[in-house]
A and B are shown apart, each in its own frame.
Chain A
Amino acid sequence: MGIRGLAGVLFLTVAVIWYLSGLEGYKIFVPGLAQGAAMTLQITAAAAVLAVIAAITAALSKLYGPAPLRWLAITYIEVFRGTSALVQLFWLYFVLPVFGITMEAYEAAVLGIGLNIGAYGAEVVRGAIISVPRGQWEATIALNMTRAQALRRIILPQAFAAMIPPWGNLFIELLKTTALVSMITLGDLAFRAQQMNQTTMKTVQIFTLVLLIYLAMSLAITIGMRVLEHRAARGILRARAA
């Protein structure tokens, strides 16, 4: 679906949320869910930034770092990909305090989810870097560029275009993973929904709204990434097609 089509679906989703919010059976849940949605968005945004930084750092370390750094990156990637995000959150919030390291629930949430998605992202970044044709590296050697210059100016800009679509997937995955933070006492969208459901038993109304809100947020992510993809493709992908 094109960007316009997606924008249409997003508009429709928001319109339905708006309409439902005005109805008698739904109205009372709106303030609580709005608070939850704000928390979800905040964690998503912060964790996304952390995930990108962690992914690039780990990917570069794994590809070009000296042995100790490489092993550190591999360990990070395998541990965070190989265990469940929920267990990681529990570790950060409930287990680490046993060893004297304490943090706020919000910090644990951003750290846990950011590092979890970053581990997947590291492989995305690594794959995109490897996919840049070898001839590009050879050209940088022939021009006597250093490896750092080659990476920064030639390889990463080209890899960037290739990694945008998979990052779109990861950001949506990240958004949905934030539902786990309710398990470490944070009042996100999923948490608010469960809380109100337990007291009112209005399951249909509450979870219809929650579903639509998550959908609207993930559509917004998809659209944002498509726009980015479009921009990055200029000069590179168009270049290859011609």
Chain B
Amino acid sequence: MIEFPMVSFENVTKRYGALTVLDNLNLTIARGEKVAIIGPSGSGKTTVLRMLMTLETIDGGVIRVEGEPLTHMERNGQLVPADQAHTRKVRAKIGMVFQSFNLFPHMTALQNCMEAPVKVLGLSRDEAEARSTELLEMVGMSNRRDYYPSQLSGGQQQRVAIARALAMRPKVMLFDEVTSALDPELVGEVLQVIRKLGAEHDLTMLMVTHQMGFAKEFADRVCFFHSGQICEEGEPTAFFQNPQNERSRQFLRAVLEAG
């Protein structure tokens, strides 16, 4: 049992109409833990990240960030749905990188990174620029800071997107299939940045990924999702070498066969 979890999902349920995407999910993530979420498509794994980023509402249960409810707030000892101010306060601890980058096309790499620190955090332009430049340096994009997204490759765009998310100083970073939209030869440069990030920072990281090799090497824990539930979870080496669940075995066999 994790004593002071960074993130916890408590009996969280998500439905789309009659379809139950997540069924009473319980998941607790420690501060600084790197968790890889894997599973077949439609298993609800991306939904986990999207709910935590408040891009999806939840239909049951509670999500907590550092013990504080995200989708709810406490009023007179009871949990009521969160208002906008409360949601924004808790959401500030979370950052996200998307499969399709979602950079702002009318802004340069630097402007993309500076926008929210200036407008949301109220940093001065100088402070925001210093912070952004440093982060672009870290992701190896400082020489492209004045380029528009259209002038960058997919891998470069994704690295800028990582810098942009980090500029808000989140405590939890969510990576949603961040290499899935990339040409194979560009996957490495993005994974390299994430690897570096994991080594240098005490960030809590959740990633939905299809890169099994990376999950095995990088994650502290692997969660295998199937039909809206965690089918199996555990330490990566053990999980990949000796999966206990029949569904995990099937999935891993299929993934390994595909190469």
Chain A interface (Cβ < 8 Å from any Cβ of B): 133, 135-136, 138-139, 141-146, 149, 153-154, 157-158, 235-236, 238-242
B150 A142 Cβ-Cβ under 8 A? no
Across the A-B interface, the 7 shortest Cβ-Cβ residue pairs: A239-B150, A143-B116, A139-B102, A135-B102, A242-B150, A142-B96, A239-B105
Chain B interface (Cβ < 8 Å from any Cβ of A): 53-55, 88, 91-92, 94-96, 98, 100, 102-107, 115-116, 119-120, 148-151, 164-165, 168
Closest Cβ of chain B: how far from A235's Cβ, in Å?
A: 5
Contact of B165 among A142, A240, A242 (CB under 8 A): A142
B98 A136 Cβ-Cβ under 8 A? no
A141 B150 Cβ-Cβ under 8 A? no
Given the complex, which residues of A lie within 8 Å of B95, measured CB to CB?
142-143
Task: Closest A residue to B92 by CB, please name it.
Answer: A144
Contact of B106 among A143, A149, A235 (CB under 8 A): A235
B150 A241 Cβ-Cβ under 8 A? yes
A144 B88 Cβ-Cβ under 8 A? yes
B150 A138 Cβ-Cβ under 8 A? no
Known: A139-B104, A149-B120. 18 other contacts (CB 8 A): A136-B104, A138-B55, A139-B102, A142-B98, A142-B165, A143-B165, A143-B168, A144-B168, A145-B116, A145-B120, A149-B119, A154-B104, A157-B106, A235-B106, A235-B148, A236-B105, A239-B105, A239-B106
Given the complex, which residues of A lie within 8 Å of B168, measured CB to CB?
143-144
- Whether A240 touches B105, Cβ cut-off 8 Å, given contacts A143-B168, A144-B88, A144-B120, is yes
Given the complex, which residues of A lie within 8 Å of B119, measured CB to CB?
145, 149, 153
- In the bound complex, how far is the Cα of B88 from the Cα of A236, in angstroms? 29
Task: Closest B residue to A152 by CB, please name it.
Answer: B119
- In the bound complex, how far is the Cα of B151 from the Cα of A154, in angstroms? 19
Given the complex, which residues of B lie within 8 Å of A139, measured CB to CB?
98, 102-104
30 chain-A/chain-B pairs, Cβ below 8 angstroms: A133-B102, A135-B100, A135-B102, A139-B98, A139-B102, A141-B53, A141-B55, A141-B91, A142-B94, A142-B96, A143-B116, A143-B120, A143-B164, A144-B92, A144-B116, A144-B120, A145-B116, A146-B88, A146-B120, A158-B105, A158-B106, A235-B107, A236-B105, A239-B105, A239-B106, A239-B149, A239-B150, A239-B151, A240-B105, A241-B150
B106 A236 Cβ-Cβ under 8 A? yes
Given the complex, which residues of B lie within 8 Å of A242, measured CB to CB?
150-151
Given the complex, which residues of B lie within 8 Å of A241, measured CB to CB?
150
- In the bound complex, how far is the Cα of B119 from the Cα of A146, in angstroms? 9
Given the complex, which residues of B lie within 8 Å of A138, measured CB to CB?
53, 55, 98, 102
- In the bound complex, how far is the Cα of B54 from the Cα of A111, in angstroms? 43
Task: Closest B residue to A147 by CB, please name it.
Answer: B84
- In the bound complex, how far is the Cα of B105 from the Cα of A241, in angstroms? 11
- Whether A135 touches B98, Cβ cut-off 8 Å, given contacts A142-B165, A239-B148, A239-B150, is yes
B104 A240 Cβ-Cβ under 8 A? no
- In the bound complex, how far is the Cα of B164 from the Cα of A154, in angstroms? 14
Closest Cβ of chain B: how far from A38's Cβ, in Å?
A: 38
Closest Cβ of chain B: how far from A229's Cβ, in Å?
A: 14
